[in-house]
């Protein structure tokens, strides 16, 4: 997904894994760091990665029955993210400002912003990492191990085991020839239940010197429908307030109404 790498981690997909692991042969990368270094170079290089301070992705979510929902994903360094998608005339918003995660979900009758539960916040923390977990993984507190080589639908891949700082384990599969990610899978806890998730990435296109997957096909674990990127904009001005949780005005309105009621009662008295 990567470049989820530069595209929210929430956006990657799974294929059926075929074949058994093989050993890394002579002349090939022998460590995870060597594979990651080639990966960074393949997607455009560290300079191009660091040059991206913010990004806006316009995409289309295709669900079962041919239903579609336009969506916009905005990311800003160091760890801010906002997702909006529209369906049946209603727009849902989920955002993370680096500390607080919040959402507005009109489909569930929630039209005022509410704080996310801890498991959702953790998911957004992961996705808000614009570069993905492999880049600077040690600084982020993760561990990465090169397991060896596998085969996915006829393509040879390097299999990397990523253990996040919170203990969650993911497997990233990079094409042995081009060193770009074509699959990521793992487990995460959601609403108290551990679920499997996986993403398959494809249709890589260059944007401002970076290769970004424009086709993301989540499978399993209730990950939703396919995502097709239609437009990627980099270094778009985004004020921090765009990611901050709006003040809930309902309580203020209620308090004001109560005061007005009291004033009316006094006048009538």
The answer to whether residue 204 is domain-embedded is yes
Q: Which residues contact 199 (CB under 8 A, 6 or more apart)?
A: 1, 11, 12, 13, 14, 183, 184, 185, 216, 217, 218, 219, 223
Domain of 244, CATH number, reads: 2.50.20.10
Q: Which residues contact 35 (CB under 8 A, 6 or more apart)?
A: 29, 146, 158, 160, 174, 179
Q: Are 187 and 168 in contact (CB under 8 A)?
A: yes
Quick: pLDDT tens for 38-54. 999 999 999 999 999 99
| Host domain of residue 172 | 17-268
The answer to whether residue 6 is domain-embedded is no
The answer to whether residue 2 is domain-embedded is no
Quick: pLDDT tens for 113-160. 999 998 889 889 999 999 999 999 999 999 999 999 999 878 899 999
pTM: 0.79
Distance separating alpha carbons of residues 24 and 81, to the nearest angstrom: 37
pLDDT averaged over every residue in the chain = 84
Distance separating alpha carbons of residues 229 and 212, to the nearest angstrom: 9
The answer to whether residue 9 is domain-embedded is no
The answer to whether residue 151 is domain-embedded is yes
The answer to whether residue 4 is domain-embedded is no
The answer to whether residue 11 is domain-embedded is no
The answer to whether residue 1 is domain-embedded is no
How many structural domains are present in the chain?
1
């Amino acid at each position: 997904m990567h470049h989820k790498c530069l595209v929210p981690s929430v956006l990657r997909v799974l294929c059926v894994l075929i074949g058994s692991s093989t050993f890394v042969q002579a002349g090939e990368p022998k460590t995870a760091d060597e594979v990651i270094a080639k990966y960074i170079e393949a997607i455009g290089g560290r300079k191009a990665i660091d040059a991206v301070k913010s990004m806006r992705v316009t995409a289309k979510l295709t669900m079962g029955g041919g239903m579609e929902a336009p969506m916009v994903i905005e990311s800003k360094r160091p760890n801010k993210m906002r997702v909006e998608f529209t369906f049946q005339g209603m727009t849902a918003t989920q955002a993370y400002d680096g500390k607080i995660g919040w959402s507005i979900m009109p489909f569930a009758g929630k039209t005022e912003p509410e704080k996310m539960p801890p498991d959702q916040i953790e998911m957004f923390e992961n996705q808000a990492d614009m570069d993905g977990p492999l880049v600077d993984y040690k600084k982020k507190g993760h561990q990465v191990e090169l397991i060896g080589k596998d085969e996915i639908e006829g393509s040879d891949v390097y299999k990397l085991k990523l253990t996040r700082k919170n203990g969650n384990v993911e497997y990233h599969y990079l094409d042995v020839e081009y060193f770009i990610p074509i699959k990521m899978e793992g487990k995460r806890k959601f609403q108290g239940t551990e679920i499997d998730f996986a993403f398959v990435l494809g249709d890589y296109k260059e944007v401002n010197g970076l290769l970004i997957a424009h086709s993301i096909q989540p499978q399993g674990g209730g990950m939703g429908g396919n995502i097709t990127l239609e437009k990627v904009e980099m270094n778009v001005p985004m004020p921090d307030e765009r990611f901050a949780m709006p003040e809930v005005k309902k309580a203020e309105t209620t308090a004001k109404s109560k005061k007005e009621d009291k004033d009316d009662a006094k006048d009538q008295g």
